[in-house]
Structure formats: C-alpha cells, structure tokens
Amino acid sequence: MATGHRAVHSLRTLYSWTADEPNPTAHARRRLRDALTGLRLPPERVEDALVMASELTANAQCHATTPCLLRLILTRAAVIVEVHDSDPRQPVLPVRVDGAGTLDPEDDDVDSRLPTLAESGRGLQIVDALSQGRWGFRSAHLGKAAWFVLASAVR
C-alpha cells in the first residue's frame, strides 16, 4: 500500500455512489462519522476526517468518472480513509503560491498564472494541512484512490 502500512487489520467499504447520486458528500460524511465514532476517536480528529473526506469525495464527484467508493482501512498503526474512483489519471497537484512553493521568480509567465494557481487545489491543500502531509494518491483496481492517514494508532 502506498501509505507505508503493511498489515491491513480491517477494510470496510462505507459508501459507494454513481454520477446520478444526489449529494454524495453528505452521505459519505454521515457514514464516515458513524464509523469513526464507533472507533472512539477524539471528536476533533473525527471532524478533521470529515473535512478531508468531504474534499476528496467532492473532487471525485466533480473531476472523475464513477462509480466511487469511500473505504476505511484499519491497520495496527493507523486509520486510513480512501476515496476510490474509476479514473486512473492522478491529479496534478497544485503549486503553492504562499512563498513556500516552486514558482520561479524569473518565469515571465508567473503573474498570469497566479490567479489560476491560487484558485485551484484548495481542497487538496486543506487535506495536506489537516493530515500533516500524510496523504496522497495511488493506483487502484480500475482507477485510483485518494487517501489520508487519520490517526497514528487504533485502540
């Protein structure tokens, strides 16, 4: 697994949806909240997970083909949330424009690209911040999975 966790203790599909599903993000959030609350995770970690899952679910619904899945993976070391879709293309990650990114000040076209860069990828920046960089994409059966690590241990 791309997340670096070897032994899967449990894998559960919490929710699946297609393009005609009304508001899959709300349904995914509800199912994930129930699952994580059942694991007795601290409420603030559950809320962070709901925000991250919302961003990844919305991205899958907006940019990818369906069907899509929300999965919860438990290992001895982590709780991992994955959003699967059937589009094998992995997104181009946004360039940060906050001074810590990779924009070249000598690039003559930077000024024209800044508004676009600032508007795209905000959801992935939120996932990056809340997961403390423990997230990503991996190839999956018939598509890809966006994932984040929620907790360092399962009790």
Domains in the chain and their CATH numbers? 8-151 (3.30.565.10)
Asked if the model's pLDDT at residue 132 lies above 80, the reply is: yes
Cα diameter, the chain: 53
Asked if the model's pLDDT at residue 25 lies above 70, the reply is: yes
Q: Half-sphere exposure (CA, 13 Å, Cβ side) for 18?
A: 1
Q: Exposure string (b/e) for 107-122, b if CB count within 10 Å is 16 or more? A: eeeeeeeeeeeeeebe
Tell me what the pLDDT averaged over the chain comes to.
79
Kindly state the percentage of the chain with pLDDT values over 70: 74
CA geometry: angle 129, 24, 36, nearest 5 deg: 55
Compute the distance between CA of residue 42 and CA of residue 49 in angstroms, rounded to an integer: 11
